[in-house]
Chains A and B, each alone.
Chain A
């Protein structure tokens, strides 16, 4: 590499670093299927921009493409951060179309399962290449010690991405935030109900503090 081109690259890296401070952070919302990721993404987007991101459903794999909501500015307790919310499909290691046949006919179920597999692959690609931080959403009424959760948290940690764990669905009777705190003690766990809007002040405070 010539001296001039080396110098130009060095200057470019410095200026990129300066400007990147002002750029929105891409925060991926990750987690297993049906944890409430899209409900949370919609709650955040509606609270700060007035628009929703995607369709919510009780049927797993409703979100089958990663969707981005750009420039969401969140302010709490004197801190602010501008983020691009990336709502990702739920991650799993298996997809069986028969899971959906109670809700739709076989052809639609097969189509849904195909799209779901593509969505999972897309979510993994975003995680490896395109996010600056992660909100990991768990259903606090379910056992958090699953292989998908263990693997994904490990993958996030190996990439040194900042991560907040959101213990969602605290409105459910079976909810246990402590079970999640005990499973992943190395990360901050924030309890909430995205559906009911419970504890959103603490949610926004943590997002502004942690990703700001």
Chain B
């Protein structure tokens, strides 16, 4: 599978955005997904996942991110997904019928010093992306 391309430094007057399809993520192991995300973020890219991560992968992403934080180099990540809908069915019947499957939600991840969330609700994420 081809890697995401990073532009040359002399063309880096913009912000690179990598939109990664659910299909591309499907064949990847959890650590491969996390490595791909963090490699992109380390390069200053904004990574957008069509289908997000599982809760377990999110937990590991936080752990690996913490291990890679380095003063004056990498402060961590900003990550945004839509919050869970308050109308989601969490009843026993809903769980039996499969309503408790983690929803696959578009997820935006970027370097903490370059992306700032302006507003978030169940249907809208508004973020300010700056050049480093």
B-binding residues in A (CB < 8 A): 91-97, 110, 113-114, 117-118, 120-121, 124-125, 127-128, 145, 147, 150-151, 153-155, 157-159, 182-183, 185-186
Contact = CB atoms under 8 A, between A and B. Distances in A.
A182 B86 contact: yes
A150 B75 contact: no
Interface of B: 54-56, 58-60, 62-63, 65-67, 69, 71, 75-81, 83-84, 86, 88, 90, 102, 112-113, 117, 120-121
B86 A94 contact: no
Dominant secondary structure of chain B at its interface with chain A: mixed
A154 B62 contact: no
A118 B117 CA distance: 25
Contacts of A153: 84
Dominant secondary structure of chain A at its interface with chain B: helix
A92 B83 contact: no
A97 B112 CA distance: 13
A154 B102 contact: yes
Contacts of B58: 151, 154-155
A94 B69 CA distance: 8
B88 A147 contact: no
A147 B69 contact: no
A94 B71 CA distance: 11
Contacts of A96: 75-76, 112-113
